[in-house]
Structure 1
Amino acid sequence: MTGEEFSSYIDFLRAEFGWKAVDVRERLGCGVNQITRWRETGCPRYIGLALVAIALGLQPGFRPDWTEVGDGEAVEA
């Protein structure tokens, strides 16, 4: 995720959820200056994925109720 993409997503989180950069930092568990740094340089892919998960309301330890695997074969949940 580029710095511009990261900044846009942070702006989206502010508009959609009212989150400030400090709120995002706390949810990600990163350092105080990291949000500013990622706005300038971009962030690792896993941080971008984490932002999407956070926006969707997923919490650590979330386990989806998978009902299908790989080839579409149904399995018991």
Structure 2
Amino acid sequence: MATVNPWSRFKQLLPRAARYIVTIQSVQTDGTSLATRRDGEVVRLKGTPVEAGKKAWVEGQQIIGEAPDLPSATQYV
């Protein structure tokens, strides 16, 4: 039975984990990849669907696909 609680219904629309973009440094033989986050931190992620040198979407600790290589900028206000 579906819930009628508005808050519960709203929470179902939200993504379960944060999604962000990384640059893949290397693909490992154990099914993981080493990647660099935007802040410079190197992380080990599950999955190998994106080759080294490309950008990838990450949700939680799982690579979910290739991301477009668009320019980015940081502005401080």
TM-score by length of 1: 0.20
Q: Which structure has more RCO (C-alpha within 8 Å, separation ≥ 6)?
A: 1
Structure with greater proportional strand content: 2
TM-score by length of 2: 0.20
Structure with greater proportional helix content: 1
